[in-house]
């Protein structure tokens, strides 16, 4: 028994909706049924041609697919299910397409396309048929029955007892009967999402659907909301007794999130980089047709990519086989890297701070036979970096540093504002950790620097000494603006190698 | 057992009576069954009859080691075709020695095969041995065996001394690579599939079948630009004036696919109709044309095309994919589709070969 569920009470309705999701077809590889072989490989030893005394022509004739059959009545032949014509045929891809065999998954950004057929399986004509198809986020439900709705909704789920087949089965009938009743009583119905009308024949009703006949249509809907959706199909018609009947049927599907995009903004020296990682949450491999970063007005973005695809030795095949960007199903990732530059030339370097909007991503992916999906990310912001009025840089470290021998490092201090700053004090601060420091200032602990005018730099030396061997860090060199009482972030750690005295 | 040669088949050699099948020394295709008849049965899909013939052959007297192996290969193939995969695997496992064992080499039986050397294993047996595990649920074993077979074939190509023999092994190499490519494709491992297609194209960059199939893999992935380039390359290498009907249809069907991608189903149908006019048994064109009609909201005509194909050219059209598509259309078109599917199923049972998979009607 096919366990078909119908909306309303089946025996009372002449009409019924048949709904099938119409995503694009796929290529069928027929290797499960066909194992094509060369008869020579079946009937002869594999080293048959090693013996030069054998007449190869006789043997090879067996392989020839055009040899007529010895037995008469060779019209009725399934030769192509047995004998291979060309070894490449083992790929089993003849180009045969197969319709989608199950509803599959549907994702945000895709287009939900569906074949809908209104069948008249009764003995009587149905006349003046008004058909409406609405796609809504959730079923309409009366406020007081929200809890009950959940239970019925889940009980009527597509996953239960649905025989193998491509046609969608409607949600269990109880609820839609109840909804009709509510509509008649004009009860208050709460709809939680927008209802989108996909088809409405009210203006020109279908005059007649004869007994055994059908009225077909295809609807398409760009999926823009996540979560459970309902396709509400209704038909209002006159049945054989000229009674005006109302048939509602509800088909449920769930929209999932296909991708997540994680971004990171980093500033390295003078450049700002945007790194985006796209993760595929779907059950299919996604071909990234287009991933474009659209910067906001004050920025330009250039994609950086390695040419992993090395020059093909065979130039004829080169153009054909550029590896596509294919992100694997169920958690595969792919990374994109961009350099962000300011379009407005400010003095000094362009700074990306936490409040600047960098732009957003437009992503188009494709699945079988080009089935597209499109998504756009939200605005991406630069990471918050404190604007540095004073830039401190380590210019120079001596190549050889000997334990317990003082050495000099050269530093520069740059005033990146438009006013004079300073005077300054430079010292090493203990830092956050309580680790013992093996590199310290030799001599006066606090260096005083004179004030610095706008956009000017000053180079100065610090005298340091190392008290530990091996790899050590110069850390905690800090600048303090005496007048403004402003302490700046310390210079990032610099690694040095401390050697023993070289003995001759 | 000193002085005795090892026996490949497991049965003790019986005393040779004047048996017309046995003529020493054997030429390699003297088999214990009538080869043309067996091939005819295979081409008609009568695999139960093939099994019977092999059973009879196995009972004959004076079978030589290579006879046993050929019988095994044919029997394993017939059992696979009848979807009796565990039986087929059991038969091969009963060999009790790996296929590379000296037991299966001519030089181990100098009195039976004087002066002959080499492996007597039919290559198809190696392939079946590799293919069967995935039918029994262990796909990874199949993949391992196929790649091992790939290695074996490659080393044979380097060893072979005669051109004919090297060519034969090269064909087998293409066969194994193509089988691996198919396996990866079915399991949606498209990067591996593409890498193998690349390998095949290096050997024959202008093969139209290969270029088409590259296009199909690219289309399945969604790489429309790649597919377009592959199809264009095919057309450029084989210009219109010089094509056979088969090639013309291949080009036409590829054009139709490009129309399907942009949802121009009417144009795709026109291309397919031209193909069908050139070759009324072009099942791919018939099947895909029906799909285009369905996607154009014309379910009735799509059903007519498929039913018509089964009626007019049954041996070509009787194909599991076509039947699956037809049954999907029945389910959509008829509320009570059980009856119409049953009619189809009964007709199939009368007309189809033994290896036809009846589950495709989904009754």
Nearest-Cα residue of chain A relative to residue B159? A50
**∠ at Cα B91 (B86, B94), nearest 5°?**
120
pTM above 0.90, yes or no: no
Tokens of A378: 């939200």
Q: Which member of A50, A58, A368 has the closest CB to residue B117? A: A50
Strands A333-342 and A372-376: unpaired
Nearest to A76 by CA among B315, B40, B319, B347: B315
Assembly ipTM? 0.90
Collapsing DSSP to helix, strand or coil, B255 comes out as helix
Question: Cβ separation of A97 and B77 shorter than 8 Å?
Answer: no
The confidence score (pLDDT) of residue B356 equals 94
Q: What is the pLDDT of residues A165-194, one digit of tens each?
A: 456 655 544 445 555 555 554 444 444 567
In chain A, DSSP finds a helix count (H) and a strand count (E) of: 5, 32
The pLDDT-based confidence of A324 (bands split at 50, 70, 90) is: confident
Burial class of A194 by CB neighbour count within 10 A (0 to 12, 13 to 18, 19+): exposed
Q: What percent of chain B has pLDDT over 70?
A: 92
**Least confident range of A71-75, A261-265, B189-193, B227-231:** A71-75
**∠ at Cα B168 (B164, B174), nearest 5°?**
145
Tell whether the model's pLDDT for residue A87 goes beyond 60: yes
Instruction: Give residues 380 to 409 of A whose Cβ lies within 8 Å of B.
Output: none
**Least confident range of A112-121, A156-165, A249-258, B93-102:** A156-165
Q: What is the pLDDT of residues B255-299, one digit of tens each?
A: 999 999 999 999 999 999 999 999 999 999 999 999 999 999 999
Tokens of A215: 């009225």
Q: What is the pLDDT of residues B311-339, one digit of tens each?
A: 999 999 999 999 999 999 999 998 888 99
Tokens of A423: 């005077």
CB atoms within 10 A of CB A204: 8
Tokens of A199: 């088809």
Burial class of B290 by CB neighbour count within 10 A (0 to 12, 13 to 18, 19+): buried
**What is the average per-residue pLDDT within B209-216?**
96
The pLDDT-based confidence of B43 (bands split at 50, 70, 90) is: very high
Question: Cβ separation of A70 and B36 shorter than 8 Å?
Answer: yes
Angle between helix B283-295 and B320-333 (nearest 10): 20
Q: What is the pLDDT of residues B219-263, one digit of tens each?
A: 999 999 999 999 999 999 999 888 899 999 999 999 999 999 999
Higher per-residue confidence, A93 vs A225:
A93
The confidence score (pLDDT) of residue A72 equals 44
Query: What is each CA distance from A372 to A331, A339, B117, B220, B250, in whole angstroms?
Result: 19, 28, 58, 12, 26
Residues of B in contact with A322 (CB under 8 A): 226
Contacts of B53 (CB under 8 A, 6+ apart): B33, B37, B38, B41
Q: What is the pLDDT of residues A353-391, one digit of tens each?
A: 556 788 889 999 999 999 999 999 888 887 655 557 888
Nearest-Cα residue of chain B relative to residue A51? B116
Chains A–B, number of C-beta pairs less than 8 Å apart: 313
Q: Give backbone dihedrals phi and psi of B116, rounded to 5 degrees, phi first.
A: -100, 145
How far does the CA of residue B220 sit from the closest CA of chain A (Å)?
4
Residue of A212, A370, A372, A373 for testing the chain B interface, max B β-carbons within 10 Å: A370
The confidence score (pLDDT) of residue A473 equals 87
Tell whether the model's pLDDT for residue B130 goes beyond 50: yes
The confidence score (pLDDT) of residue A158 equals 35
Q: Which member of A30, A75, A217 has the closest CB to residue B321? A: A30
Residues of B in contact with A39 (CB under 8 A): 39, 42
Residue with tokens 């992993």: A308
Residue A402, strand partner residues: A499
Instruction: Give residues 468 to 487 of A whose Cβ lies within 8 Å of B.
Output: none
Residues of B in contact with A89 (CB under 8 A): 178, 209
Q: Which member of A69, A164, A320 has the closest CB to residue B229? A: A320
How far does the CA of residue B14 sit from the closest CA of chain A (Å)?
23
Nearest to A386 by CA among A267, A262, A263, A264: A267
Tell whether the model's pLDDT for residue A11 goes beyond 70: no
Nearest to B121 by CA among B99, B101, B102: B99
Distance CA B161, CA B139 (A): 35
Tell whether the model's pLDDT for residue A8 goes beyond 50: no
Q: Which member of A25, A76, A287 has the closest CB to residue B315? A: A76
């Amino acid at each position: 028994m096919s366990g078909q569920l119908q909306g309303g009470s089946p025996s009372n309705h002449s009409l019924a909706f048949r709904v099938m999701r119409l995503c694009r077809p796929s290529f069928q590889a027929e290797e499960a049924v066909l194992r094509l072989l060369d008869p020579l490989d079946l009937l002869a030893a594999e080293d048959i041609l090693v013996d030069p005394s054998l007449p190869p022509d006789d043997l090879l004739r067996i392989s020839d697919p055009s040899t007529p059959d010895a037995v008469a009545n060779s019209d009725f032949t399934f030769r192509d299910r047995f004998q291979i014509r060309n070894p490449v045929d083992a790929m089993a891809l003849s180009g045969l397409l197969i319709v989608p065999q199950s509803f599959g998954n549907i994702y945000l950004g895709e287009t939900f396309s569906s074949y809908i057929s209104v069948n008249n399986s009764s003995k009587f004509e149905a006349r003046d048929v008004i058909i409406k198809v609405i796609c809504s986020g959730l079923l309409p439900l009366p406020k007081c029955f929200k809890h009950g709705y959940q239970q019925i909704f889940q009980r009527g789920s597509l996953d239960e007892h649905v025989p193998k087949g491509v046609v969608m089965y409607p949600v269990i009938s109880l609820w839609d009967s109840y909804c009709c009743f509510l509509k008649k009583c004009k009860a208050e119905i709460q709809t939680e999402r927008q209802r989108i009308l996909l088809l409405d024949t009210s203006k020109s009703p279908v005059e007649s659907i004869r007994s055994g006949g059908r009225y077909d249509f295809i609807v398409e809907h760009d999926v823009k909301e996540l979560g459970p959706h309902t396709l509400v199909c209704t038909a209002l018609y006159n049945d054989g007794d000229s009674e005006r009947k109302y048939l509602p049927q509800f088909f449920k599907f769930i929209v999932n999130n296909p991708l997540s995009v994680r971004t990171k903004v980093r500033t390295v020296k003078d450049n700002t980089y945007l790194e985006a990682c796209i993760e595929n949450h779907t059950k299919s491999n996604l071909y990234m047709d287009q991933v474009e970063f659209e910067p906001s007005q004050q920025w330009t973005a250039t994609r950086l990519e390695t040419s992993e695809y090395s020059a093909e030795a065979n130039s004829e095949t080169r153009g054909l086989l550029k590896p596509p960007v294919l992100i694997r199903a169920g958690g595969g990732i792919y990374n994109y890297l961009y350099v962000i530059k300011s379009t407005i030339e400010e003095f000094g370097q362009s700074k990306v701070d936490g409040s600047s909007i960098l732009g957003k991503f437009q992503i188009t992916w494709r699945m079988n036979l080009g089935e597209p999906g499109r998504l756009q990310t939200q605005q991406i912001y630069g990471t918050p970096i404190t604007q540095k009025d004073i830039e401190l840089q380590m210019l120079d470290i001596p190549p050889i540093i000997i334990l317990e021998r003082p050495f000099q490092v050269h530093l520069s201090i740059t005033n990146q504002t438009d006013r004079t700053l300073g005077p300054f004090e430079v010292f090493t601060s203990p830092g956050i950790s309580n680790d013992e420091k093996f590199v310290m200032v030799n001599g006066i602990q606090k260096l005083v620097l004179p004030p610095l005018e706008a956009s000017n730099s000053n180079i100065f030396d610090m005298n340091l000494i190392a008290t530990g061997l091996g790899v050590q860090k110069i850390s905690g060199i800090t600048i303090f603006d005496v007048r403004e009482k402003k302490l700046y972030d310390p210079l990032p750690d610099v690694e040095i190698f401390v050697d023993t005295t070289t003995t001759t | 057992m000193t002085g005795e040669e090892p026996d490949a088949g497991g049965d003790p050699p019986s005393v040779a009576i004047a048996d017309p099948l046995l003529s020493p020394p054997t030429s390699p295709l003297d088999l214990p069954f009538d080869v043309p008849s067996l091939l005819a049965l295979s081409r008609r899909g009568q695999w139960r009859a093939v099994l019977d013939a092999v059973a009879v052959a196995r009972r004959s007297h004076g079978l030589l080691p290579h006879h046993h192996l050929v019988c095994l290969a044919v029997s394993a193939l017939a059992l696979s075709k009848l979807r009796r995969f565990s039986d087929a695997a059991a038969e091969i496992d009963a060999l009790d020695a790996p296929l590379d064992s000296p037991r299966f080499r001519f030089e181990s039986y100098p009195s039976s095969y004087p002066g002959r050397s080499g492996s007597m294993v039919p290559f198809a047996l190696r392939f079946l041995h590799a293919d069967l595990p995935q039918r029994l649920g262990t796909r990874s074993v199949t993949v391992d065996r196929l790649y091992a077979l790939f290695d074996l074939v490659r080393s044979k190509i380097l060893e072979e001394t005669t051109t004919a023999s090297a060519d034969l092994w090269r064909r087998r190499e293409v066969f194994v690579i193509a089988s691996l490519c198919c396996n990866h494709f079915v399991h949606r491992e498209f990067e591996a599939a593409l890498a193998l297609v690349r390998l095949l194209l290096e050997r024959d960059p202008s093969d139209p079948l290969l270029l088409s199939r590259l296009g199909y893999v690219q289309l399945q992935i969604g790489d429309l630009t790649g597919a377009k380039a592959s199809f264009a390359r095919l057309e450029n290498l084989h210009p219109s004036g010089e094509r056979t009907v088969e090639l013309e249809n291949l080009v036409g069907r590829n054009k139709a696919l490009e129309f399907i991608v942009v949802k121009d189903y009417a144009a795709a149908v026109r291309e397919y109709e031209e193909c069908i006019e050139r070759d009324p048994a072009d099942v791919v064109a018939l099947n895909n044309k029906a799909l285009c009609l369905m996607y154009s909201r014309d379910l009735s005509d799509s059903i007519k095309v498929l039913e018509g194909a089964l009626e007019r050219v049954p041996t070509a059209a009787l194909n599991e994919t076509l039947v699956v598509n037809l049954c999907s259309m029945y389910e959509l078109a008829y509320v009570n589709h059980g009856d119409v599917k049953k009619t189809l199923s009964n007709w199939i049972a009368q007309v189809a070969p033994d290896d036809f998979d009846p589950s495709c009607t989904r009754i």
